Amino acid sequence: MGGSWRGSRRSDRRGRTVDPKFFWLAFFLFAFLCVPVAAEQLVRVGVYDNPPKVAIDEDGTVSGLYPDLLEYIAAKEGWTLEYVPGTWTESMERLDRGGIDVMVDVAFTAPRRELYAFNNETVLVNWGTVYTRPGLKILSLPELEGLRVTVMAGSTHTVDPGGIVDLAERFNIRCTFVEFDSYEEVFQALASGRADAGVVNRVFGLVFEAEYGVERTPIVFNPIELRFAFPLDDPLTPLLIPRIDHRLEQLKADPDSVYYRALDEYLLETPKRETVIRWPTWLLPGLLAAGAIIAVLVAAVLIVRREVRERTRAEEAHRRSEERFELAMRGANDGLWDWNLTTGEVYYSPRWAQMLGYDVDELERTIETFHDLVHLDDRERLRAEEADYLEGRTDRYQVEFRMRHRDGTYRDVLSRAFVVRGEDGTPLRFVGTHVDISERKYAAQQLEEAKEKAEAADRLKSAFLATMSHELRTPLNSIIGFTGILLQRLAGPLTEEQAKQLGMVQTSARHLLDLINDVLDISKIEAGQLEIFPEPFDLPDLIRELTDVARPMAEGKGLELRVDVDPAVGTIRSDRRRVGQILTNLLSNAIKFTEAGHVRVACTEAGADVLLSVEDTGIGIGKEDLAKLFVPFQQIDTGLTRKYEGTGLGLSICKRLSERLGGRIEVESEPGRGSVFTVRIPKGS
């Protein structure tokens, strides 16, 4: 009607100059005429109670986002609306069997498209969201196992493919579903603890979660587009759909429109504003009472002022609502995509786009958008996985691939998805999530690289040490051998100086040999190459043998060397050579670090083990040094190195050998008083 009015004004102007008085007169005549003409077109609207999208009061008053939109459109189109309230199920039955011309808030799903006509412009995008009773925290779908889950009967989030019942079945989750007629009852059941979890749409949830004190979970599913639904074969349907689409398109293009105001008013928690502009009630009496021009001017001024104020508030509120929703999605950190395989259209969530540095509005809603951003090397594999899954060759879709970020870098993405099939098994929708696993992958890769490097370096070190110590041994054989021959005067007499100097060569050569042997032992132990050859041997015998070797060294320093072996100790089964190596090391240490007093070797039985201890009255070890005592190349206090010759490897070898033999080594010490090293070794079978 508005359109025809504008057309008539234009033709008047084109025809001849019109007196402004006539123009205004014509305008009002038209305005009054419009009302009765429009009233003839009755539109019956199915409504159910699902606040804030559509709500029915106790006295039958209908309000909410959909009524606001429809009332605006009806005013513009000259329709009279008649609300037909009912439950969701009743309303949908009316849509089937007649009784309403349009139903609000219907999810645009494949099965429903077979049954009803839909307008093209989506009013809202919504998700199913899982809430829990106060105090119960769950983070993932499988945690619903065994719980009482309340749902709304007939809701797309309940019954449709991709709805909670379907999801539970798909993931093999056994839970008890309890059906209610409204989301309010779902929340009431949760608040009172009569149910553990419940499913509502996210719009309802965000608005009412605080009021009921229920817990929102990160589980969101079934992204749906809500539209108006119409009876398929009603003659009114082809008339209503283009008009509603046309109006919705206009409204969505205008940030000040009733559409955005309604979104803000109903989808935010902010207290509902009292001052909602109602054109017909405010404007008409004003016109009648005070005269047209003034009224219009006054109205215009008021409206502009109000609009500016409203707009500022509305924009702020709208921004906050979007932020909050984004936040909820980010909590799950998943980007969503929903590929309608029938139309080819793909829904991408803001987080999906943001993961790749885009704003969702910048992206074409086609699958090419997705595929083109996938790394060239991964694309074929991804397509193959998609095809395999959609064609039923695989029963699970979980793929990792790289996607190009706007900044040119690639992100590792983990995609999980499932297909929604029609009754004949045709895939209808392919719905999935994206998680950015770049950091996880990078960290794992770094760790693996570092580990490989360390292992390679370690192998190289061990191989190097083994080779070096072997190669160093060959020349030492000659040095030690021939100095020995000379010192034994086998090759002829020596002067005193010659003997003294050759003695120094021999001592140094032997020390070098010890060092090489120790390094080799450590490298073999660390490379896990040290072989143990257990055999039965007489332990007291071994102790006697080794103490006899050490006795001259001890007595040379004026130390007493005592040996106390418990008569109960006899034959044990262990590696004789290694046990001997440990004892020799401990003995030579004890003698080396003791200037006066005694060194005592003791051996006793302790259950299945033997305890072999070497006690001295030497310089002892400070508490702070005990910890590094068994660390390779750490001879305590470098100052001692000069005084006490040694490789700094002896004790770390003793420790490792003891452990390799299935035992352990312990030390007790007090600076200035002496030390006791005790080795515990299993007697063996």
Q: Which is nearer to other proteins, 234 or 526 (CB)?
A: 526
Fill in the amino acid letter for 446: Q
- Positions in the binding site for other proteins (CB under 8 A): 466, 469-470, 473-474, 476-478, 480-485, 488, 490-491, 513, 517, 520, 524, 529-531, 533
- Nearest distance in Å: CB 520, other proteins: 6
Fill in the amino acid letter for 533: F
Q: Which is nearer to other proteins, 293 or 491 (CB)?
A: 491
- Nearest distance in Å: CB 485, other proteins: 6
Output the six-digit token pair for 133.
């009773």
* Residues 205 and 129: beta-carbon distance below 8 Å: yes
Q: What is the DSSP string of 157-171?
A: HHHSTTSHHHHHHHT
Q: Which residue has the tokens 């102790």?
A: 543
What distance in Å separates the CA atoms of residue 526 and residue 528, rounded to the nearest whole number?
5
Q: Which is nearer to other proteins, 517 or 634 (CB)?
A: 517
- Nearest distance in Å: CB 577, other proteins: 9
What distance in Å separates the CA atoms of residue 343 and residue 252, rounded to the nearest whole number?
23
What distance in Å separates the CA atoms of residue 475 and residue 469, rounded to the nearest whole number?
11
- Nearest distance in Å: CB 519, other proteins: 11
Q: Which is nearer to other proteins, 177 or 482 (CB)?
A: 482
- Nearest distance in Å: CB 563, other proteins: 22
Output the six-digit token pair for 611.
């305890």
Q: What is the DSSP letter of 618?
A: S
What distance in Å separates the CA atoms of residue 211 and residue 226, rounded to the nearest whole number?
25
Q: Which is nearer to other proteins, 496 or 531 (CB)?
A: 531
Q: What backbone phi and psi angles, to 5 degrees, belong to 13?
A: -65, -40
- Nearest distance in Å: CB 499, other proteins: 14
By DSSP bridging, strand 79-85 and strand 41-47 are parallel
List residues bridging with 81 in a β-sheet: 43
- Nearest distance in Å: CB 546, other proteins: 15
- Nearest distance in Å: CB 470, other proteins: 4
Residues 6+ apart with CB under 8 A from 458: 526, 527
Q: Which residue has the tokens 């590929």?
A: 339
Q: Which is nearer to other proteins, 425 or 493 (CB)?
A: 493
* Residues 601 and 560: beta-carbon distance below 8 Å: no
Output the six-digit token pair for 139.
């983070």
- Nearest distance in Å: CB 490, other proteins: 4
Strand ranges inside 232-384, DSSP E:
334-340, 346-348
